[in-house]
Structure 1
């Protein structure tokens, strides 16, 4: 079982920080397989006893790969679910079972319809009940679980605000199954699924914390850097109603199952020298010294022996003798990451520079998951590569069509219709398409999937904006590539898995351009987001081409998205920007008018993309300055990926 494996790998020192058994895996895929194996073992054990396995199940993106692995076991290994009885955690109130976002539909599509479970054994809260019937339903839901002897296994996710199920902050440990008003953070996180915050239900029925805590076994899954902070609070912080997941510290048979990026804020990952002896590699030294300097608010060169000794770094000091020597080494390493020549400085000594001097004019291929990630995430570097004479290609991996508001699409269609009438170039077919699409948008139900014509219009809007940005930066039309990867083109937030076609499209472009540099969105933290899927496509293509002669001269640089930046100890190239360059980047972002002033998937961050980008870039520059480096207006940061 996971808990036993976790207990074996967690050192006593780690347990002094972690108040819950915590298992770390290299990837969400690996972790999901381990959890699925535990569930399968429970089902088989119950079958051998002639008993039912009573499972509490969760929804959302986190458990999808667990369910996919259970389906695989059913199809390939004969795992039967005939003895399984399930109870889902929650359901949005007022949402019918066939609604796109309904958890009834989710469970049918992700699990129930693909295994041999008895539909009568599948229990999910009813979001369509009249309000006066909800209380009695909730009592009966818990009573049914008790009559079956309780939950044998409860699968959980965790919200960014610490909720489990829809037990929002403030929920009591003895709370019952009930109708719950959703927290603003929860609704903002669901906005993507519903096509905007305004469409997200305000209430949901949720299994109470008391019933969760009474389960014989609880496993909480969490993937990605965006969950790292709340997981740290739940695992290492105090038990508090403001973080409902922290109640699990009181469960006698619980495990938190995390991928490495989600564990980033745990003490054993963030400051491992406080937990146990570490191998003092150059990277670990840089991590420790920059953390110490930023924690104390001191430049690196002002750290003292006493600072090291009093903050858990006496081993490092004993190894190297004096803080002065360590400080100089780390400071020089930080300084050498800064360059105004992201494509390499011609005719320069490049031994201490992040990029090679030769060839002086490089072919550069920038992969942009959406039609604006290039300018938002690395616009200053993008512009500088062009200005410094490199042959820069941009590949827009997806159409980004679902991120265009309906009224924006309607406005463009109306313009085209008026334009055609004005100049007498109407056609019966174009008129019919416009009439049909206008009628569709006028009568579209909340979060209904767009028609093919409307999706094409929205894709054209975003394509035009990307072309405008490239013109602004100075990219010729023949160096702009729209890949429209098929995995994205579902018309829904839920995408298809990457296919051979996706890989081939990316690989063929790389083979055609034969780049010396590739830039790609390195959002490794989110295993289900478009950025991560697009990165997987790039990685696969690069691996397939790895033996090609031109790839021996190709370096792959990763940038982050609009919200987060690489930790400063990981940054290998930092490209500074002047105030004028920051403003020019802002003007480039403004070319994406459909993504301004009321973005479809705004989330909980009300800032526009240009504001997010500038705040992030200024923060990076400020961190370098705090560590004792020169003061710049802003910086874009990159990490090299070795293949």
Structure 2
């Protein structure tokens, strides 16, 4: 094992298993992992400088390498890391694509790296999205030849797409393929849609280095962040080599490391079912995870699992510790049973020993933090409704304006209504004129962003009023990190954290609910959660914070696994309908939503199906049969 692999082994959590065919390390966070990767790149640059030779880097775009580039920039500015000897080749570019377009990879690389370091402009190589179709074939050959003339890539940084693509080598790519033009897979275009404000704006073609070009690099590091990449990473690391998952070709490269965060690694056998890999140190949490897995695998409820079921599926050591399946089954049944409560704010005058929440104080001050102006009702609308009905002092805090998710057509509709009410309105006329002239992915004017934000506000207030909340308890924080007018947001700042702290200080909550959906480690939900965590860290020494419990809900895309749930709030059929009606108030997000993903169901359908599925999982495990369940996990600070 070379020195870099040893370094990763020491820094991350690494363990060879018979299931894995690619070296990989797992870090607690993408931030921590990105710093380690940046340190390797910096070390290589310095090594090449000492030899007075150029350092040839293959670079990736997308959200995965952003923190790596930030750390390299920091090292340049604070530690004197020079890029004077660095020659870069980017993996890909959309085609056609003007380099000045904010969605171009040329723009991305300069925005995140090149504009901030001392690399020579002539040493930057990025495929051109403006080359003519007639010249494209020869251009790709020349790009490939230039890489080879410099001795090949010393280091190739990669991300991975949900199709298993590396670069834009989509399923079907040949393992010896070179730089070429390619038609993008539909899933790839769906994933790119948020950046382009809709899939219709995403180019259908791209220029990409080939699999063969990537595999010729002396060293390859692939970054995998977030739960949305977990399935394809399992296929890549543990599956067979197949052109349908082009990243599996890296199994045959002798110096590749996959660097993963916890979410991205969650489907690997050694993470998901470690008892199939080696002997386990059985904690109660791991026991529950294992028994849920066994129950689902055998299609048996907890209380019907037998000693033979445990022994046949690699869990005999667990039985040896617990005694019999009978005892273990009852223990796990009770543990899951105790997560269920119809009183998310705690049940007054009740024994709360086996309940997820405290019975006192009977009336709690509660903040529900919602990253966008609809996450509250989409993700926990039934619990929100129940908290209000049960008499708690509930406050809703919308962390961002959500203006980027309002379509131009929706904004134009409201501007025209405003003009009809007041034909002389200068602002309405200016907005109408701007929207009629707007082209491509131009950044909205301040007036248009304001209108789009007001649309989201009015929808939110409609929903909260429907659920019985006083307008005075609705807070619009408009955190500054979000207000860029583009899909790319600013980094979290002290101003953002101060706004959060101010609200917490004002309300002094007994409960906080927040979105714990981390599918995208650079997405708005993650930044909003980081803002909360930073606020809690700053305020945890205050006396009233000792009485504050934090519950995390998931967004529209994923739910907590059954073994992760610490509070399960069942919903009656009537409450499911009330939740649906609250979601309907968010009309700008209901039909033709801009960031639909690859799930064509509307948000309300998607979330109802998810809540029903959670209830079904509980029932299949042997617990009561509910219409729907909303799930939460406690965060300890």
Normalised by the shorter chain, which TM-score bucket? over 0.9
Deviations 1:148-195 (A, max 9, x none): 000000000000110000000111111121110000000000000001
Matching residue within 347, 350, 356 for 2:349:
347
1:265-284 mapped onto 2 (5 Å cutoff): 265-284=267-286
Whether 2:514 is the aligned partner of 1:531: answer no
Q: How far off is 1:545 after superposition?
A: 1.3
Matching residue within 199, 204, 207 for 1:205:
207
SS of 2:264's equivalent? Answer: helix
CA contact (8 A) 1:175 1:208 kept: yes
Q: How far off is 1:3 after superposition?
A: 2.2
Partner of residue 578, structure 2: 584
1:77 and 1:142 map into 2 onto residues whose CA distance is 34
Q: How far off is 1:8 after superposition?
A: 6.7
Partner of residue 520, structure 1: 514
What's the RMSD between the two structures over aligned residues?
A: 1.2
1:8 and 1:344 map into 2 onto residues whose CA distance is 44
Deviations 1:548-597 (A, max 9, x none): 11111110000000111011111000000111111111010000000011
Whether 2:547 is the aligned partner of 1:546: answer no
Whether 2:492 is the aligned partner of 1:490: answer no
Deviations 1:226-250 (A, max 9, x none): 1111111100111111100111000
CA contact (8 A) 2:23 2:256 kept: yes
SS of 2:559's equivalent? Answer: coil
Matching residue within 43, 57, 74 for 1:55:
57
CA contact (8 A) 1:401 1:462 kept: yes
CA contact (8 A) 1:280 1:316 kept: yes
Q: How far off is 1:210 after superposition?
A: 0.4
SS of 1:262's equivalent? Answer: coil
Partner of residue 317, structure 1: 319
Partner of residue 380, structure 2: 378
SS of 1:14's equivalent? Answer: coil
SS of 1:495's equivalent? Answer: coil
Deviations 1:188-235 (A, max 9, x none): 000000010000000000000001011101100011111111111100
Task: Give the TM-score, by structure 1 length.
Answer: 0.97
SS of 1:239's equivalent? Answer: coil
The 1:60/1:75 distance shift into structure 2, 3 A limit, reads: same
1:11-50 mapped onto 2 (5 Å cutoff): 14-50=16-52
SS of 1:230's equivalent? Answer: helix
CA contact (8 A) 1:182 1:202 kept: yes
Partner of residue 563, structure 1: 557
Q: How far off is 1:12 after superposition?
A: 10
Partner of residue 434, structure 1: 428
SS of 1:283's equivalent? Answer: helix
Matching residue within 164, 167, 170 for 1:165:
167
Matching residue within 216, 219, 224 for 2:226:
224
Deviations 1:492-546 (A, max 9, x none): 0000011111001100101101111100001134210101100111111112111
Task: Give the TM-score, by structure 2 length.
Answer: 0.98
List alignment gaps of at least 5 residues for structure 2.
Answer: none
Q: How far off is 1:2 after superposition?
A: 3.9
Please list every run of at least 4 consecutive aligned residues from structure 1 whose deviation after the TM superposition is greater than 3 angstroms.
Answer: 5-14
Partner of residue 108, structure 2: 106
Partner of residue 406, structure 1: 408
Deviations 1:292-334 (A, max 9, x none): 1111111011111111111010110111120110000000011
Deviations 1:396-435 (A, max 9, x none): 00000000000100100111111124xxxx4xxxx22222
Deviations 1:96-142 (A, max 9, x none): 00001000111111111110101100000011111111110110111
Whether 2:233 is the aligned partner of 1:239: answer no
2:208 and 2:516 map into 1 onto residues whose CA distance is 35
Partner of residue 367, structure 2: 365
Work out the number of aligned pairs and report it. Answer: 635
Matching residue within 504, 507, 512 for 2:501:
507
CA contact (8 A) 1:55 1:153 kept: yes
List alignment gaps of at least 5 residues for structure 1.
Answer: none
1:15 and 1:393 map into 2 onto residues whose CA distance is 48
Matching residue within 600, 603, 615 for 1:606:
600
Matching residue within 445, 448, 456 for 2:439:
445
Deviations 1:231-289 (A, max 9, x none): 11100111111100111000011000001111000111101111222211110100111
1:356 and 1:14 map into 2 onto residues whose CA distance is 43
1:621-632 mapped onto 2 (5 Å cutoff): 621-632=615-626
Q: How far off is 1:5 after superposition?
A: 3.3
